[in-house]
């Protein structure tokens, strides 16, 4: 086991503070919806996306048509198109089987953990090793907490207010990555847009915020480039 793989695994551990209560909720909801432990485990294995799993169970409980359930899951998980596009350079030299494995393990948390450390990777293989270590930790934390939640119910007291644990874990990854004013400006802009679009249906606010922020980054970088061109010609 490489040192970077271990570093990736341990880098994910603080983030599991937010994952474990979320997984417990997922497990208890699956039990209340009438799924068996094997069915809940299969959903975890084949979907492996908490937000869409919760939405799917809610729609199943409402006896929604199958195509509505599929469409909802697709929309909620559409953000992974952006993640995978950003991750692709790290896996482009890997065998097809490794690319498939990496894409299967791709989550918000594993991508965030890797992107916060990517400046320290000398090669794509280094980045991939770190990423797989983070993915393994995430895999164990998620599946273990969902199973415990299914068996014992939501064991986290509501008085703990752990709803904030997941966004706080992301903030702990975001802040060190704000290397200069440009990064900070993009972060502030994204935060502002996410609040404005948070009320969109089908959880489209997250995807819409990502797209708008990418446009902002492109325009911002283009403007900076244009200034440099004009500055050099004067």
Helix (H), strand (E), coil (C) string for the chain: CCHHHHHHHHHHHHHHHHHHHHHHHHHHHHHHCCCCHHHHHHHHHHCCCHHHHHHHHHHHHCCCCHHHHHHHHHHHCCHHHHHHHHHHHHHCCCCHHHHHHHHHHCCHHHHHHHHCCHHHCCCHHHHHHHHHHHHHHHHHHHHHHHHHHHHHCCCCCHHHCHHHHHHHHHHHHHHHHCCCHHHHHHHHHHHHHHHHCCCCHHHHHHHHHHHHHHHHHHHHHHHHHHHHHHHHHC
- Whole-model pTM? 0.72
49-66 tens-digit pLDDT: 888 888 888 888 888 788
74-109 tens-digit pLDDT: 877 888 888 888 899 888 888 999 999 999 999 988
């Amino acid at each position: 086991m490489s040192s970077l793989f271990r570093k990736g695994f341990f880098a994910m551990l603080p983030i599991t503070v937010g994952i474990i209560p979320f997984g417990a909720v997922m497990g208890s909801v699956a039990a209340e919806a009438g799924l068996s432990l094997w069915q809940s485990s299969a959903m975890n294995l084949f979907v492996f996306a908490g937000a869409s799993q919760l939405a799917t169970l809610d729609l199943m409980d409402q006896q929604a048509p199958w195509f509505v359930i599929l469409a909802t899951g697709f929309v909620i998980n559409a953000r992974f198109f952006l993640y995978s596009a950003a991750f692709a350079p790290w896996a482009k030299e890997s065998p097809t089987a490794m690319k498939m494995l990496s894409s299967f393990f791709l989550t918000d948390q594993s991508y965030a953990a890797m992107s916060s450390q990517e400046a320290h990777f000398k090669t794509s293989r280094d980045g991939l090793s770190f990423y797989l270590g983070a993915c393994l930790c995430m895999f164990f934390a998620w599946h273990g907490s969902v199973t415990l939640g299914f068996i014992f119910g939501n064991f986290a007291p509501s008085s703990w207010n752990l709803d904030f644990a997941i966004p706080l874990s992301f903030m702990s990854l975001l802040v060190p990555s704000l290397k200069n004013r440009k990064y900070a400006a993009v972060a502030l802009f994204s935060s502002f847009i996410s609040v404005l679009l948070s009320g969109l249906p089908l959880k489209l606010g997250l995807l819409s915020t990502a797209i708008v922020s990418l446009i902002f980054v492109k325009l911002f970088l283009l403007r900076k480039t244009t200034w440099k061109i004009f500055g050099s010609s004067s």
